[in-house]
């Protein structure tokens, strides 16, 4: 059976420094504390047991409960209350990976709802709101025994080490939670956590996955259904995101100017993308056959948006008819579009505008996968 967790926190109660002993209700722990600590008291203010710091060093509590619980005492490393305790008797810090998340209390739930209302008032997208709320909920469930105003920067570091890193969650997931926590604590008053001191994790530099022009041609030619071919072709021909494609409406195609107008895409940005004669001919052929009503590409029911998972399955079926053994996704087509534009000599600034990137640094990553200049490099091996 898994041991329960106990969190020891130093705080002030009635103008006296105390050790707050936080744990989920447990009769064995409670009885052990009552028998072993004469100064033990219950605080309605903190909703926890506590003992005076000057008469009860954390080592006493650790030795009392270590055999039946995991005692988290990292807040006390370096505490002046340990001056009279021989160093040989101090226990080693416990770094215990945990997946246990407690239930939110009333304060946490209220603050999360307030944060959600704040995000909505700022007109964040529903996707972003959902991501931030899920991330913040995970973080606060980890500190379910601690008031929000008592959470500090060291707690966030401990959370990253004991929950994110110890459980081998990705750096992107860690970054997602850090972003949510940072934004949340910017809106919370009387806090101990200072958002300006929070550092995001260093992200690994991963190159985008790119197909050759021949591979793209094989994928598109493998599609016999004109609707499926038009959808994947438009993603590649315009460098669209999957979500942008399935939300397209017929009126967003400006046939006379040979443009497609992307409305309120990622980052709530509009942009225009050029349409070639070849893709226009394919789209016109599709429109004559299918005659969509609301969306350019509709599902089995007219007027309803095409399902994103169905589109992924279309790509999977196409790949099965080729000899391409790469784990290709729909986003690979967008990466390939950008890289092939660069290799054809298109200015990087135009590619940035077409893709809808806020920063040129995002677009510059395609220079690392373009073979235009790399293939011109002659290996010294050839001179041997």
The catalytic residue positions are: 241, 266, 331, 334, 357, 366
224-to-37, 221, 257, 321 alpha-carbon distances in Å: 78, 7, 29, 11
For residue 290, what are its two tokens?
């299918």
Rounded Cα gap, residues 290 and 278, in angstroms: 19
What order do you get walking across the sheet with 16-23 strand by strand? 41-43, 48-52, 16-23, 5-13, 70-72
Q: What is the DSSP letter of 367?
A: G
Rounded Cα gap, residues 161 and 152, in angstroms: 15
Q: Residue 71: exposed, middle, or buried by beta-carbon count in 10 A (0-12, 13-18, 19+)?
A: buried
CB of 50 within 8 A of CB of 21?
A: yes
With CA atoms as reference, report the closest residue to 340 among 203, 259, 253, 238.
238
Q: Between helices 213-221 and 308-320, what is the axis angle to 10°?
A: 100
Rounded Cα gap, residues 335 and 45, in angstroms: 56
């Amino acid at each position: 059976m898994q041991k329960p967790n106990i969190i020891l926190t130093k705080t002030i109660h009635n103008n006296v420094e105390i050790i707050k002993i936080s744990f989920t209700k447990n009769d064995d722990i409670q009885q052990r504390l009552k028998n072993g600590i004469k100064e033990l008291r219950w605080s309605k203010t903190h909703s926890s047991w506590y003992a005076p710091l000057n008469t009860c060093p954390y080592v006493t509590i650790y030795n009392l409960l270590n055999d039946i619980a995991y005692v988290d005492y990292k807040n006390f490393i370096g505490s002046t209350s340990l001056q009279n305790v021989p160093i040989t008797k101090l226990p080693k810090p416990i770094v215990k990976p945990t997946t246990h998340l407690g239930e939110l209390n009333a304060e946490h739930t209220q603050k999360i709802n307030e944060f959600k209302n704040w995000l909505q008032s700022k007109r964040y997208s529903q996707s972003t709101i959902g991501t931030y709320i899920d991330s913040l909920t995970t973080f606060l469930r980890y500190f379910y025994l601690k008031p929000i105003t008592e959470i500090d920067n060291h707690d966030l570091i401990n959370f990253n080490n004991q929950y994110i890193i110890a459980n081998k969650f990705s750096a992107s997931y860690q970054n997602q939670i850090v972003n949510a926590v940072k934004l949340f604590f910017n809106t919370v008053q009387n806090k101990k956590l200072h958002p300006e001191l929070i550092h995001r994790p260093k992200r690994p530099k991963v190159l985008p996955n790119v197909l050759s022009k021949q591979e793209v041609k094989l994928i598109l030619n493998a599609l016999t259904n004109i609707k499926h071919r038009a959808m994947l072709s438009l993603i590649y021909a315009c460098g669209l995101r999957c979500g942008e494609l399935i939300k397209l409406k017929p009126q967003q195609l400006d046939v006379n100017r040979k443009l497609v107008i992307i409305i309120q895409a990622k980052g709530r940005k509009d942009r225009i993308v050029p349409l070639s004669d070849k893709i226009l001919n394919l789209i016109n052929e599709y429109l004559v056959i299918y005659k969509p009503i609301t969306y350019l590409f509709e599902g089995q029911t007219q007027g309803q948006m095409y399902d994103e998972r169905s589109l992924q399955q279309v790509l999977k079926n196409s790949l099965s008819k080729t000899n391409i053994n790469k784990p290709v996704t729909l986003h690979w087509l967008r990466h390939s579009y950008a890289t092939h534009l660069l290799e054809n000599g298109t200015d990087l600034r135009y590619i940035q505008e077409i893709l809808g990137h806020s920063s040129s640094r995002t677009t510059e990553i395609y220079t690392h996968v373009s073979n235009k200049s790399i293939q011109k490099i002659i290996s010294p091996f050839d001179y041997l």
